[in-house]
Amino acid sequence: MDPEILRSSFAVVERRAEFAVKYFYSHLFRHHPDVRGLFPLDFPEDMERQRDRLFAALTHVMERLEDPRLPEYLRELGRDHRKYLAEPEHYAAVGASLLAAFAVVAGPAWSAEVEKAWAEAYGAITNVMLQGAWEAQQHGEPPWWDAEVLARTRHGDDLVVLTLRPHRRLRYSPGQYVSVNIPRLPGIWRPYSLANAPRADHTVDLHISRVEDGVLSNALVRQTWEGDVLRLGSPGGGLTLRTPADRPLTLIAAGTGWAPVKALLQQLQQLDDTYEARLFLVARDISYLYDRDAVEHLQARLPRLAVTFITPAPGRPKAQATERLLTALGNRAGWTRHDVYLAGPPKLVAEIGAALPSFGTPAERIFHDLLPPTGEERPRPVGPAEWLLDRPQPAWHNPAGRAPHA
């Protein structure tokens, strides 16, 4: 692969990403109508998410062409794509349509040399992804895990905790997430963190917060009951414990970001109750500080765990919670010694992650996953003038950290 050619041509395409992806899907479905069933066309917002995930994966690859860890990312991507029932011929169809879209969008910047570079790069990428899929199959890993809903606990109108029992054992590390699907909504998968360390009965908890226009979150919160069966994709994510027992750590969780942090704290309890840790739990309103019993339970078993709850002042907008969190963090000492684990809405994670180095935390000791947007972010501008003068950060652009699955 020629990184310089790939990056320079991708920079041209990225500036017209909206049109590029529309052309890509139009070309793909016209020339390969058999792949149409792999995409959730009934829900336009899901096509937008699919577009963002496609460019998130492409951006991730472009930024890490020389990174020795890239093959592992691609193998995991291929392993995860088995849930879409993707076959080798589907990869070939996608590649042909992707290059066709890039050629149209790039215009004069597209040449025989550029096309050759992209064809070779796509071939190398898909070979590694298919290797990951093959390895998962050889290890007996299913495309997804069917999991029965054993219990359903409501917290207000918009949040539920689902306890599931996978029909086959799901092996994962605390802090990881899985993609979730309901069979009656084929093709629609959303990432949700596993909210517990592995248990002897192999059950898992998911914390589901309803998004106003979210197709899957509404179905999970309001239309899912005991006895229903969900599908869980392969575990993924890098928010896993890597802090030695002699180093203190800080955990910051906002909203249902409490789920992976809770799993990490349970792991600390199992490993060594002498860990020095501080927990900041953030919510947009005091009524959203759910699962307090679990927090108290962990405090009782981790004697060196300090807990701080953060909410806006009564009657103030929810954004004040972030301001109060930054103030609380600034009033704490010892940041140069702490590892920091962040989980919550992408906007908050990005803002807090950017502020932590100013407190003294080394950037390499700030850990979080970057997941797809939930729909609350600022919408893209519709006119070329607004795009040029006030261009927002693309939803697929992850300047640091791990890209979401495509």
Token duo for residue 242: 């890597």
Q: Is residue 152 in some structural domain?
A: yes
49 pLDDT band, cuts 50/70/90, is low
Q: Is residue 391 in some structural domain?
A: no
Look up residue 120 and give its amino acid.
Answer: E
Across the range 271-299, mean pLDDT stands at: 90
Token duo for residue 211: 């998004």
Q: Which of 39, 128, 28, 61 is nearest to 88 (CA)?
A: 128
Token duo for residue 302: 């981790």
CB 16, CB 79: distance < 8 Å: no
pLDDT computed for residue 48 by the predictor: 64
Asked if residue 39 and residue 55 are part of one domain, the reply reads yes
Q: How many domains in the chain? A: 3
Asked if residue 357 and residue 259 are part of one domain, the reply reads yes
Asked if residue 74 and residue 19 are part of one domain, the reply reads yes
Summary mean pLDDT of the chain: 86
Burial 315-327 (b: 16+ CB within 10 A, else e): eeeeeebbebbbe
pLDDT computed for residue 106 by the predictor: 94
28 pLDDT band, cuts 50/70/90, is very high
pLDDT(216) > 80? yes
Domain boundary among 232, 258, 285: 232
To 10 degrees, the CA torsion angle through 233, 238, 243, 244? 60
CATH number at residue 226: 2.40.30.10
Predicted TM-score (pTM) of the model is: 0.82
pLDDT computed for residue 69 by the predictor: 83
pLDDT computed for residue 332 by the predictor: 95
- The span from the CA of 249 to the CA of 264, in Å, is 11
pLDDT computed for residue 36 by the predictor: 79
Chain segment 136-181, per-residue pLDDT in tens: 999 999 999 999 999 999 998 899 999 999 999 999 999 999 999 9
Q: Is residue 255 in some structural domain?
A: yes
CATH number at residue 286: 3.40.50.80
Phi-psi region of 333 (alpha: psi -120 to 50; beta: other; left: phi over 0): beta
Q: Is residue 404 in some structural domain?
A: no
Across the range 225-245, mean pLDDT stands at: 93
Across the range 133-137, mean pLDDT stands at: 93
For residue 176, the 8-state DSSP code is: -
Asked if residue 84 and residue 150 are part of one domain, the reply reads no
Asked if residue 171 and residue 124 are part of one domain, the reply reads no
Backbone angles phi, psi at 268, to 5 degrees: -60, -45
For residue 184, the 8-state DSSP code is: T
187 pLDDT band, cuts 50/70/90, is confident
Backbone angles phi, psi at 26, to 5 degrees: -60, -45
| Upper half-sphere CA count for residue 46 (Cβ side, 13 Å) | 16
378 pLDDT band, cuts 50/70/90, is very low
pLDDT computed for residue 142 by the predictor: 94
pLDDT computed for residue 268 by the predictor: 94
Across-strand partners of 179? 191
Q: Is residue 59 in some structural domain?
A: yes
Across the range 305-320, mean pLDDT stands at: 90
Domain boundary among 206, 232, 258: 232
- The span from the CA of 118 to the CA of 124, in Å, is 10
Domain boundary among 198, 232, 266: 232
Across the range 12-29, mean pLDDT stands at: 88
365 pLDDT band, cuts 50/70/90, is very high
Asked if residue 152 and residue 71 are part of one domain, the reply reads no
CB 59, CB 397: distance < 8 Å: yes
Q: Is residue 398 in some structural domain?
A: no
Which domain range does residue 292 map to? 249-368
Three-class DSSP category at 146: strand
**Contact residues for 126 (Cβ-Cβ < 8 A; gap 6+):** 91, 92, 95
CB 72, CB 119: distance < 8 Å: no
pLDDT computed for residue 173 by the predictor: 96
- The span from the CA of 79 to the CA of 86, in Å, is 10
Across the range 206-222, mean pLDDT stands at: 92
- C-alpha distances out from residue 32 to 36, 103, 129, 171, 376, Å: 8, 19, 21, 36, 34
Asked if residue 166 and residue 57 are part of one domain, the reply reads no
Q: Is residue 362 in some structural domain?
A: yes
212 pLDDT band, cuts 50/70/90, is confident
42 pLDDT band, cuts 50/70/90, is low
50 pLDDT band, cuts 50/70/90, is low
